[in-house]
Amino acid sequence: MRTAETSGQPTREGENGVRPRADGSPPMSRPFAWERSYPAGMSWDSPVELSTVPRLLEEAVAAFGPAPAIEFRGRRISYDELGREADRFGAACLAAGLAPGDRIALFLPNTPYHPVAFFGAARAGLTVVHLSPLDAERELAHKLSDSGARTLVTTNLAGMAGRAATLLGSGLLDRLVVGEDGVWPSSTMTPDPVPGGPGVLTLGAFVSAAAPPPAWPVLSPDDVALLQYTGGTTGVPKGAMLTHGNLTAAVSMYHNWFCSVEEIRPGLDRIICVLPLFHIYALTTILLRGLKRGAELMLRGRFDVEAVLRDIEIGRATHFPGVPTMWIALASTPGIETRDFSSLVYTGSGGAPLPVEVADRFERLTGHRLVGGWGMTETAPAGTNRLGTATSKPGTIGLPLPGIAMDVCALDDPTRTLPPNETGELRIRGPNVTRGYWNRPAETAAAFVGEWFLTGDIGYMDEDGFFFIVDRKKDMIISGGFNVYPQMIEQAIYEHPAVEEVLVVGVPDGYRGELAKAFVKLRAGAEPFSLEALQAFLADKIGRHEMPKALEIRPALPRTAVGKLSKIELRDEERARAAHLVRGAA
């Protein structure tokens, strides 16, 4: 055990992009502003446990052995069974010649094969590389070649095994392990044939002949457990190196927070896991934290409103973490106010900013307050959390979790700390923060000022220690010399009764440089409105320099693999349109 104040061990500069851990910034004085806003019983310097992923599972198996760990398509998997299957997979990896430190890619949707392979790979000392089922072939090829992963685990569902076989055939892989989806009960899913050819094994065949090793590799909290790719919106995706210590520290930090704000009920909770396990939000806050508390994960392949409501009303789920698009869909469901949410003790939103109007509407309709907070891939993803009480402030991302230090620095000088209520870039440090980006020393160096990680989020801290985000640094629009924050415009547009979803992006403009354009999805049955009508609605809500100068109403808005609204496609469309107009004028 150690506290967050001793975050990190020295590392060699430049190794795989790892930054030096020396911190040249001045010490922060305590008590921090946010400590004064902590609820009774919460302490910032509560011990933060740094351990390893296999140890976390071992402790859960020892504590909750016969209890259900995962429910998937009506079948339950106990903690004992999960531990055994993970050990079998880890033994198979070592028997196949994989060595501690080697990378192994998981190309999986939500299926029990994911936790089995994830924990098994960690047991063998391997580094997991998460691939998204929605990645294009070019993105998959980049992540494989960049990480050096030569073994890939997938399943024969929805064409995934076929796509993986293409990667094998192109020479990017040496081995393809296919978990057969038909093992799990299903009345709607039809598995694909398992591809043939050299280098392809079913998961059953892969683990069948492997004996337990004489001794498992000895792991350290400083060993890299996961390469989680991020940053695709600003260029080529880069792998954030998350150590065993980063992941277990994040779990410990969440545990310290929730021990103070809700009743921890070991072995009694049922958590809906519709968020993808290949994403850091679900991996840490649902899988790892859920297993630590002995919860049962109701593992689901995709989000469906009626299926979620069945899990709540009939399955008696106690926890449902989601992303804003899920809460928008639920709050827009006819008759939602009549549904039975009595089993729920926690409803949380993360992964993207939650519009205030959506949170308020959901609480009015259901009586449940949406909590959650802010975090990043690079923070595993612990950062801040909102209080589920009236003392939490509207629009805040909350208070830093115990063990995490945060502040705000000047946009033009990241070494200069700003006082409360001044807007700048959020910085964070703690034992949950990544060591850096895999094989990218320059990008690693640019992301840190001493021990501080520069988040790229623009916001401020008020005098009570509550943090607020006004936008992402890369999303900021400069229009006529003014800084315009799209998220602030979006929050105002969400107040319009006809709007279900909205994204605001900057589009090129010959006079102002950029202008704000709103893309809107209407509620079912709502009448379309004009740009002029929208501007009139916003007249008393945002400044003239923030006013959208263009509007496009669409039947749907683009989303990421996690279900978050995505601006990338809209920006690309607008840039291509502007380039076409320029060529046409020439």
Span 303-316, pLDDT tens digits: 999 999 999 999 99
Whether 20 shows a pLDDT value over 60: the answer reads: no
Alpha carbon 30 to its chain's center: 30
Between CA 85 and CA 181 the distance in angstroms is 16
Q: Please, what's the b/e burial string for 29-66 (b: 16 or more CB within 10 A of its CB; e: otherwise)?
A: eeebbbbebbeeebebebebbbbbbbbbbbebbeebee
Q: Look at residue 87 and give its three-state secondary structure.
A: helix
Over 50: is that where the pLDDT of 18 sits?
A: no
Mean pLDDT of the chain: 90
Strands 270-273 and 224-230, bridge-based pairing? unpaired
Specify whether the backbone of 4 is left (phi greater than 0), alpha (psi in -120 to 50) or beta: alpha
pLDDT digit string (tens) for 95-141? 999 999 999 999 999 999 999 999 999 999 999 999 998 888 888 99
Q: Is the pLDDT confidence value at 3 over 60? A: no
Lowest-confidence pick of 9-23, 204-218, 262-276 = 9-23
Q: Say whether pLDDT at 555 is over 60.
A: yes
pLDDT at 512: 74
Please say if the pLDDT value at position 27 is more than 60.
Answer: no
Q: What is the pLDDT of residue 129?
A: 98
What tens digit of pLDDT does each residue of 561-576 get? 778 898 989 988 988 8
pLDDT over 50 (residue 375): yes
pLDDT of residue 4: 29
Residue 391 pLDDT: 66
In angstroms, rounded to a whole number, what is the distance separating the alpha carbons of residues 483 and 425? 14
Question: Given this model, what pLDDT does residue 394 score?
Answer: 85
- Report if pTM > 0.95: no
Mean pLDDT, range 256-278, rounded to an integer:
90
φ/ψ of 65, rounded to 5, equals -20, -70
* Calpha distance 59→45 (Å, rounded): 24
Amino acid letter, 335 = G
| Residue 436 dihedral angles phi and psi, to the nearest 5° | 145, -170
Could you read off the pLDDT of 400-422 as tens digits, one per residue? Answer: 999 999 999 999 999 999 999 99
Q: Specify the pLDDT at position 582.
A: 56
The position carrying tokens 């063990």 is 403
The pairing of beta strand 75-78 with beta strand 68-72? antiparallel
pLDDT at 58 over 90: yes
Peptide bond into 31 cis (omega under 30): yes
Residue 511 has pLDDT above 80, yes or no: no
Domains of the chain: 79-228 (3.40.50.980), 486-585 (3.30.300.30)
**Whether residue 420 has a cis bond before it, omega within 30° of 0:** no
387 against 553, higher pLDDT: 553
Mean pLDDT along residues 285-290: 97
Mean pLDDT of 67-78: 97
Q: ∠ at Cα 8 (6, 10), nearest 5°? A: 120
| Contact in structure between 243 and 435 (CB atoms under 8 Å) | yes
Residues 428-486 pLDDT 10s: 999 999 999 999 999 999 999 999 999 999 999 999 999 999 888 888 787 766 668 78
